[in-house]
């Protein structure tokens, strides 16, 4: 009895380690909150905060509940909740997540979600739901454990009868029978999969990767094709300058002239050009006579010079003559999927600026990690073929499916499944809902505080495509541990039962004592639990370094 209890104590300790992720999440929420009442800050338990309360968040303090910033600006560390490695700037009107840390400025936050409605509470609930759910393999193991109990009882009875029949005596026969019953370990079969699932889901939660159930965890291990939506998943969904060509004028001088014009424009491309000029250190000059030409561009007089920035129609209207070489360069850029904008100064064509949707800093790393896993990467895009191909070539994507309407994405997933592929669809969880539901594994990326996305099997808190291969690695690692545990549990019982029944006694004279059998049984369960905990040592891609954003700089050339 002592050996059995000691073994179970070690087993409980090991299983407790699998719940470390949930305990860590629960400890994130601060026990007290500072609420502003009648203009005075009052400290109250977080559990007493209600929707609509105004909270005072000082530098270094944890934000107690989800809310919206009403006053102040600061940097907020959300890494403990979302896995986002860098602090996020927050100002008036921005949402904040409970349990994140306010680092620099003082904020006044209006509570919008409290109690079980907060993002942290939903994360904990989702992890607990996943850990309590059963994978398909676990159901088989549970049935096997049930039958193993019957095998132990029947085997013990048969062992007693056989030894008694051959004249071993009642005491010896009973000893063998007891040893058979004691050494049988249905616990190892019962623990084989749930312990691995607990560790796998907890490991995912620490990286902002939330599996909704054990089936999703097991399915992720079998994915061989990952389909990603281009805009907002692989790209930032905002333009950036990729090329700046200047002819017959200095690059910095031309940038200053263009920035002056675009600074007055409200076009989305204008903001990208101004941002590029600022990064290059080109100060915008003063201007007069600014004129916005809807659908074509803008003109202005900058430092006494007539500047026009826009498309061909604007240049025709301005009677601008462009050199053949410059127009050829413009056509090359347009053919490669970029938006090419023409620039003229004093009626003479002097430059081209090309813009395109910017790829996320980690997209190329994500594709490379998926390739290392042997996974085919497919990109879906509503853009034309040239634009989609440019991004695909930049990131090393295997297959491009361009000019796809939102309603047709699910059909494209079905086509891949009809080819025998196990497909995962990665999208934003809203526009891609039909495709997420159609896929073998629906992955909602960039969920932020909206962790309860109905159509997704797997929720990624961050807008980081690198979390996709992380999820697949966790799934494969978990399935590998489940299989190892099942093989161990089955192998142990197959070998241990005959030995306990005394098959070695006639040949070698070896008899297994019941106390040793008890130790073996407890040790078997302990090995299964510890092996599952080894999943915590799984090697995962490191979070992006702070300098990653500067890894890809737009090209600027002077002709």
3 state DSSP class of 456 = coil
pLDDT of residue 397: 93
Q: What is the distance between the alpha carbons of residues 108 and 57, in angstroms, rounded to a whole number?
A: 6
pLDDT of residue 389: 86
pLDDT of residue 382: 78
Closest residue by Cα to residue 413 from 403, 423, 426? 423
Say if residue 262 is exposed, middle or buried (CB neighbours under 10 Å; 0-12, 13-18, 19+): buried
pLDDT of residue 557: 40
Distances (CA, A) of 105 to 46, 81, 85, 90, 548: 21, 20, 19, 10, 26
Say if residue 526 is exposed, middle or buried (CB neighbours under 10 Å; 0-12, 13-18, 19+): buried
pLDDT of residue 304: 87
3 state DSSP class of 176 = helix
pLDDT of residue 79: 73
Name residue, tokens 């809807």.
Answer: 294
Count of helices and strands (H, E) across the chain: 20, 23
> Is the Cα dihedral 402, 403, 407, 411 positive or negative?
negative
Q: What is the distance between the alpha carbons of residues 527 and 403, in angstroms, rounded to a whole number?
A: 53
Beta strands in 133-208 (DSSP E): none
Q: What is the distance between the alpha carbons of residues 399 and 389, in angstroms, rounded to a whole number?
A: 9
pLDDT of residue 504: 79
Grouped pLDDT means (10 residues each) for the chain, 559 residues: 50 54 72 89 91 91 92 85 73 89 90 87 79 69 74 83 82 84 74 82 84 89 92 82 88 90 84 88 81 86 90 88 88 84 91 87 91 94 81 90 82 92 83 82 74 75 88 93 85 83 79 78 80 84 51 40
Residue 559 is classified by DSSP as -
69: its two tokens:
């910033």
Q: What is the distance between the alpha carbons of residues 370 and 541, in angstroms, rounded to a whole number?
A: 11
Closest residue by Cα to residue 315 from 301, 329, 292, 297? 297
Closest residue by Cα to residue 416 from 453, 501, 404, 353? 404
323: its two tokens:
């050199």
The partner residues of 443 in beta bridges, in order of sequence, read 426, 458
Residue 65 is classified by DSSP as S
What order do you get walking across the sheet with 101-102 strand by strand? 88-90, 74-77, 101-102
Q: What is the distance between the alpha carbons of residues 533 and 531, in angstroms, rounded to a whole number?
A: 5
pLDDT of residue 167: 78
In SS3 terms, 271-311 reads as HHHHHHHHHCCCCCCCEEEEEEECCCEEEEEECCEEEEEEC
Let me know how long the chain is. 559
| Active centre residues (catalytic) | 229
Largest Cα–Cα separation, the chain: 118
């Amino acid at each position: 009895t002592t050996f059995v209890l000691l073994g179970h104590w070690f087993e409980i300790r090991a299983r407790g380690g699998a719940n470390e992720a949930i305990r860590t999440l629960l400890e994130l929420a601060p026990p007290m909150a500072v609420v502003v009442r009648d203009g005075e800050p009052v400290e109250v338990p977080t559990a007493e905060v209600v929707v609509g309360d105004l909270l005072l968040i000082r530098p270094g303090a944890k934000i107690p509940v989800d809310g919206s910033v009403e006053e102040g600006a600061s940097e907020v560390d959300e890494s403990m909740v979302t896995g986002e490695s860098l602090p996020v700037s927050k100002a008036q009107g921005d949402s904040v997540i409970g349990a994140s840390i306010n680092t620099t400025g003082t904020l006044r936050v209006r509570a919008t979600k409290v109690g079980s409605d907060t993002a942290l509470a939903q994360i904990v609930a989702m992890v607990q739901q996943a850990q309590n759910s059963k994978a398909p393999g676990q159901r088989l193991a549970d049935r096997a454990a049930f039958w193993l109990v019957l095998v132990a009882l029947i085997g013990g009875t048969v062992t007693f009868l056989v030894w008694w029949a051959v004249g071993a005596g009642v005491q010896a026969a009973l000893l063998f029978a007891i040893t058979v019953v004691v050494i049988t370990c249905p616990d190892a079969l019962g623990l084989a999969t749930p312990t691995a699932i607990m560790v796998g889901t907890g490991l995912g939660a620490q990286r902002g990767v939330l599996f909704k159930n054990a089936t999703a965890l097991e399915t992720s291990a079998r994915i061989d094709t990952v389909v990603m939506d281009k805009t907002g998943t692989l790209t930032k969904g905002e333009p950036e300058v990729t090329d700046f060509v200047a002819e017959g004028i200095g690059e910095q001088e031309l940038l200053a002239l263009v920035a002056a014009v675009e600074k007055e424009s409200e076009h989305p491309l204008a903001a990208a050009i101004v941002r590029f000029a600022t990064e290059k250190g080109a100060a915008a000059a003063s201007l007069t006579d600014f004129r916005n030409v809807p659908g074509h561009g803008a003109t202005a007089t900058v430092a006494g010079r007539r500047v026009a920035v826009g498309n061909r129609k604007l240049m025709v209207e301005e009677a601008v003559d462009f050199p053949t070489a410059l127009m050829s360069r413009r056509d090359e850029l347009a053919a490669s999927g970029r938006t090419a904008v023409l620039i003229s100064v004093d009626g003479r064509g002097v430059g081209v600026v090309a813009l395109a949707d910017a790829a996320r800093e980690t997209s190329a790393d994500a594709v490379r990690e998926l390739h290392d896993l042997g996974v085919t990467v497919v990109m879906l895009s509503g853009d034309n073929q040239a634009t989609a191909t440019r991004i695909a070539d930049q990131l090393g994507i295997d297959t491009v499916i361009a000019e796809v309407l939102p309603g047709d994405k699910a059909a494209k997933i079905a086509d891949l499944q009809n080819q025998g592929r196990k497909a995962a669809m990665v999208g934003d969880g809203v526009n891609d809902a039909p495709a997420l539901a159609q896929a073998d594994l629906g992955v909602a990326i960039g969920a932020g505080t909206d962790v309860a996305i109905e159509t997704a099997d797997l929720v990624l808190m961050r807008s980081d495509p690198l979390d996709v291969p992380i999820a697949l690695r966790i799934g494969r690692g978990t399935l590998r541990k489940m299989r190892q545990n099942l093989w161990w549990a089955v192998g142990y019982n197959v070998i241990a039962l005959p030995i306990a029944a005394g098959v070695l006694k006639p040949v070698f004279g070896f008899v297994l004592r019941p106390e040793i059998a008890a130790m073996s049984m407890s040790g078997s369960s302990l090995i299964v639990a510890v092996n599952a905990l080894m999943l915590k040592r799984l090697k995962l891609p490191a979070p992006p370094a702070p300098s990653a954003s500067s890894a890809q700089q737009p090209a600027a050339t002077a002709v």
